[in-house]
């Protein structure tokens, strides 16, 4: 009663302050709970402290802290003690995973001239942590198979499938060759995979200065861009097949887990691969002859870009230590009260390739400040309805190891209890990025409206809207102006949300600010405290904003009277995916017909320049018509169910009955699970979500309704109708679930 009186007083005060606007509704809260929640959020928002985050970043990035390193373990122990000091019940959970580290690395040009690549990032006097060579992992690509190969060199642009079609038309084969690909255009692991599929025996990946070097600004330490000796490390495991420990697919890498042998692990590359700097790449590329590279392939080096093959011959040797290493996941918990068996989960990784101030510490320090703020509220007497779990993952960089192994170990509990997973990774100045499950789109729009953007002073929501109006596509501009909610993107892969969303069907969201800071230090020794405090969010105000977004999201999910999921935006988004698939099929059909016709007409033959000949592409199987009716019918069901749910939701919230809400919540947490299929995607059963998956040939990039989309893109027409039926089945199941919850809530 006292609380009620107090909140009445407070709401009168806030009305007085903003005389003409009532408190906007808060998704998931009964009218009588809104004010108490807003008061709590105001207290939480005031707590994240830029000075503390700066100090935490300096401490956590002081030394290299990759998987298996002493400082990785020390950081985990420090994070553990922080969580405990904030009042959380915390522990470290260990896993033993395959994590190869380099033993031998060699790249040399053996003909027509000789050159040995340095494979060394140099220490810079201005940058105090760049000289920690004894602890730095040398530049390499983790999960490259061991190998010692020599062959002619071929330049393959970004090394994606379309690039090989182009090479074939120019009569350039990579069979028996070592390819050199630029970073970018796809996730890096796709490059050796596609090269091996085309018969290459080795793969080099370099960062062209056009993409993140001097073409974009001054190079480090004078500016943020990649210097000539800077190298991007990174995993090349075939993550679109499954992420996590290559030896324990689908199960947790605990001490007693049954393990594959290294030779049996499907995700290790088929050919050796090594990343190099543009300093090291230039002499190799300059030694190529053969056809000129197409204009769009050329970079910013002062050379003539040619394709090869040869006469440059390259010798590549890679050998790793394939021992198991121990992961240290830090897991912290604040217990819930009335709905303790519903878990709200938040995570960011703590491991880095080297010092990793930006990736991942810029996100982690915000997460820690949220935890401190939530812990302070807890000490002051607040109790969340639902249990809150905060995680600091190890082993994200090599392949989402820490999150995947934890998710696989606790899969049954998570399927029963997980409400949602909220992830962050790197953070910079700029615009709030939100990607994730569309059942949370409306909810996350509400959060973005309530966090101020530190540079403009308007809400983070308003700032994203402004940018979309200014520079979006015509469609995006219209949406930004007229649609009630800003659209959020779908999640592919590339950070720790993937096991939650893709493997279990836990509704997930990734958050992070960005878009104003240029940089070319990704996964190099120069991603460190010096770089971050000179060229990124040096005032740590966007770290504070991220902590506010994360903290408020968690607080709302944990306290809500009725879980804040909504399904109208989901249905509407699925509709855009279906339309997109239909036009993709039609475009493909037209392209195929056009190419086959051009072949019949002999246009390739007649236009080929004898001095720079281009051969005709292969004839393609014409595209059949597809039957989209099952998807469209399922969509109709979901739209109907979603609007019934919105009516029921409005009734339930105004009636404010906790008993019906509690029953609804238990079913609502299964709503994302309903979108999964137990058999999973074709040839990659680890991925079970039928709406979102990383692309088999793009890696990080998302494929929406992936079964159907990839069947069309890859011309596997025989699969397309079956995939349409499978996707339709989960959407029908979602409609049934949503409709059932609407009835239970007492809606019409």
Q: Which residues bind Zn ion (CB under 5 A)?
A: 359-360, 425
The SS3 of residue 151 is strand
Query: What phi and psi values does residue 213 have, to the nearest 5 degrees?
Result: -110, -140
- At closest approach, how far in Å is the CB of 128 from Zn ion? 23
Nearer to Zn ion, 211 or 359 (CB): 359
- At closest approach, how far in Å is the CB of 353 from Zn ion? 9
Nearer to Zn ion, 454 or 494 (CB): 494
CA–chain centroid gap for 425, Å, is 9
Which residue, among 432, 653, 659, has the nearest Cα to 552 in the 3D structure?
Answer: 432
CA–chain centroid gap for 68, Å, is 23
Nearer to Zn ion, 397 or 441 (CB): 397
Which residue, among 293, 346, 660, 289, has the nearest Cα to 510 in the 3D structure?
Answer: 346
Nearer to Zn ion, 282 or 362 (CB): 362
Q: Other CB atoms closer than 10 Å to residue 124's CB: what's the count?
A: 17
User: Is 499 within 8 Å of 400 (Cβ atoms)?
Assistant: yes
Nearer to Zn ion, 163 or 496 (CB): 496
Nearer to Zn ion, 329 or 425 (CB): 425
Nearer to Zn ion, 227 or 512 (CB): 512
Segments of 372-467 assigned E as strands: 386-393, 418-423, 430-436
- At closest approach, how far in Å is the CB of 584 from Zn ion? 31
User: Is 520 within 8 Å of 230 (Cβ atoms)?
Assistant: yes
Which residue, among 42, 50, 46, has the nearest Cα to 543 in the 3D structure?
Answer: 50
- CA of 283: how far to CAs of 114, 118, 587, in Å? 9, 12, 41
Question: Which residues, in sequence order, are CB contacts of 471 under 8 Å at separation 6+?
Answer: none
Nearer to Zn ion, 363 or 446 (CB): 363
- At closest approach, how far in Å is the CB of 352 from Zn ion? 8
Give the sign of the dihedral formed by CA 165, CA 171, CA 175, CA 180.
Answer: negative
Structure tokens at 678: 């137990």
Nearer to Zn ion, 220 or 393 (CB): 393
Distance CA 217, CA 223 (A): 7
- At closest approach, how far in Å is the CB of 360 from Zn ion? 4
Query: What phi and psi values does residue 530 have, to the nearest 5 degrees?
Result: -60, -50
- At closest approach, how far in Å is the CB of 508 from Zn ion? 16
Question: Which residues, in sequence order, are CB contacts of 88 under 8 Å at separation 6+?
Answer: 332, 333, 334, 371, 375, 390
- CA of 665: how far to CAs of 384, 617, 643, in Å? 15, 55, 18
Nearer to Zn ion, 390 or 443 (CB): 390
Nearer to Zn ion, 272 or 360 (CB): 360
- At closest approach, how far in Å is the CB of 349 from Zn ion? 6
Which residue, among 633, 587, 588, 440, has the nearest Cα to 27 in the 3D structure?
Answer: 440
Nearer to Zn ion, 187 or 649 (CB): 187
- CA of 260: how far to CAs of 10, 88, 241, 410, in Å? 61, 37, 15, 20
- At closest approach, how far in Å is the CB of 311 from Zn ion? 40
- At closest approach, how far in Å is the CB of 62 from Zn ion? 18
**Antiparallel, parallel or unpaired: β 234-235 and 115-116:** unpaired
- At closest approach, how far in Å is the CB of 425 from Zn ion? 4
Nearer to Zn ion, 397 or 665 (CB): 397
- At closest approach, how far in Å is the CB of 66 from Zn ion? 12
- At closest approach, how far in Å is the CB of 606 from Zn ion? 51
- At closest approach, how far in Å is the CB of 181 from Zn ion? 22
Distance CA 325, CA 572 (A): 45
Distance CA 483, CA 461 (A): 13
Say whether the peptide bond before residue 360 is cis (omega within 30 degrees of 0).
Answer: yes
Question: Which residues, in sequence order, are CB contacts of 584 under 8 Å at separation 6+?
Answer: 709, 712, 713
């Amino acid at each position: 009663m006292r609380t009620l009186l107090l909140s009445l007083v407070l709401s009168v005060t806030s009305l007085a302050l903003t005389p003409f606007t009532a408190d906007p509704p808060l998704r998931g809260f009964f009218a009588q709970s809104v004010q108490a929640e807003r008061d709590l959020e105001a207290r939480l928002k005031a707590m994240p402290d830029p000075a503390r985050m700066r100090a935490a970043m300096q401490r956590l990035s002081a030394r290299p802290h990759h998987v298996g390193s002493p400082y990785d373990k020390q950081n985990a122990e420090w994070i553990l003690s922080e969580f405990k000091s904030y009042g959380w019940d915390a522990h470290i959970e260990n896993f033993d995973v395959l994590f190869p580290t380099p033993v031998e690395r060699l790249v040399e040009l053996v003909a027509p001239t000789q050159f040995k690549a340095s494979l060394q990032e140099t220490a810079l006097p201005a940058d105090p942590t760049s000289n920690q060579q004894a602890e730095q992992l040398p530049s390499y690509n983790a999960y490259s198979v061991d190998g010692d190969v020599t062959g002619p060199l071929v330049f393959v642009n970004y090394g994606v499938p379309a690039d090989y079609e182009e090479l074939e038309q120019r009569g350039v084969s990579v069979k028996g060759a070592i390819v050199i690909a630029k970073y970018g255009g796809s996730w890096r692991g796709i490059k050796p995979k596609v090269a091996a599929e085309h018969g290459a025996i080795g793969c080099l990946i370099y960062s062209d200065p056009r993409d993140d070097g001097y073409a974009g600004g001054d190079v480090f330490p004078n500016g943020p861009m990649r210097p000539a000796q800077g190298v991007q490390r990174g995993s090349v495991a075939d993550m679109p097949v499954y992420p996590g420990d290559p030896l324990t697919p689908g199960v947790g890498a605990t001490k007693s887990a049954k393990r594959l042998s290294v030779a049996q692990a499907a995700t290790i590359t088929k050919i050796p691969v090594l990343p190099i700097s543009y300093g090291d790449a230039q002499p190799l590329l300059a030694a190529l002859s053969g056809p000129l590279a197409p204009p769009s392939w050329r970079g910013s080096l002062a050379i003539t870009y040619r394709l090869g093959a040869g006469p440059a011959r390259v010798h590549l040797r890679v050998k790793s230590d394939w021992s198991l290493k121990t992961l240290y996941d830090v897991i912290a918990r604040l217990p819930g009260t009335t709905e303790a068996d519903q878990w709200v989960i938040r995570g960011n990784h703590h491991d880095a390739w080297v010092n990793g101030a930006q990736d991942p510490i810029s996100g982690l320090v915000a997460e820690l400040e949220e935890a401190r703020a939530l812990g302070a509220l807890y000490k002051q007497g607040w109790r969340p309805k639902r249990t809150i779990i905060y995680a600091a993952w190890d082993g994200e960089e090599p392949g989402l190891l820490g999150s995947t192994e934890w998710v696989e170990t606790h899969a049954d509990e998570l399927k029963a209890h997980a409400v949602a997973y909220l992830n962050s990774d790197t953070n910079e100045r700029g615009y709030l990025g939100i990607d994730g499950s569309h059942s949370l789109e409306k909810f996350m729009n509400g959060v973005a409206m309530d966090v101020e953007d530190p540079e403009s002073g308007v809400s983070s929501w308003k700032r994203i809207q402004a940018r979309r109006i200014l520079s979006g596509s015509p469609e995006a501009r219209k949406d930004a102006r007229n649609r009630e909610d800003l659209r959020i993107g779908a999640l592919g892969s590339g950070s720790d949300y993937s096991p939650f969303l893709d493997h279990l069907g836990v509704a997930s969201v990734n958050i992070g600010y960005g878009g104003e800071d240029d940089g070319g230090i990704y996964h190099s020794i120069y991603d460190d405290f010096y770089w971050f405090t000179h060229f990124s969010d040096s005032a740590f105000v966007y770290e504070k904003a991220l902590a506010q977004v994360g903290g408020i999201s968690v607080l709302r999910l944990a306290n809500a009277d009725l879980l804040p999921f909504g399904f109208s935006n989901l249905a509407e988004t699925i509709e855009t995916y279906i339309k997109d698939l239909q036009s993709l099929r039609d475009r493909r059909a037209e392209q195929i017909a056009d190419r086959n016709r051009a072949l019949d007409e002999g246009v390739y033959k007649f236009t080929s320049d004898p001095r720079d000949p281009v051969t005709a592409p292969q004839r393609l199987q014409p595209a059949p018509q597809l039957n989209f009716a099952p998807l469209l019918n399922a969509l109709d069901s979901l739209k109907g169910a979603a609007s019934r749910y919105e009516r029921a939701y409005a009734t339930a919230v105004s009636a404010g009955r906790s008993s019906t809400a509690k029953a609804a919540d238990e079913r609502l947490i299964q709503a994302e699970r309903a979108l999964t299929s137990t058999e999973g995607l074709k040839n990659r059963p680890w991925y079970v979500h039928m709406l979102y998956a990383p692309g088999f040939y793009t890696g990080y990039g998302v494929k929406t309704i992936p079964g159907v989309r990839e069947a069309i893109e890859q011309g596997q027409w025989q699969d397309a109708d079956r995939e349409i039926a499978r996707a339709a089945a989960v959407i029908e199941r979602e409609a049934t679930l949503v409709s059932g919850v609407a009835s239970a809530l007492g809606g019409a």
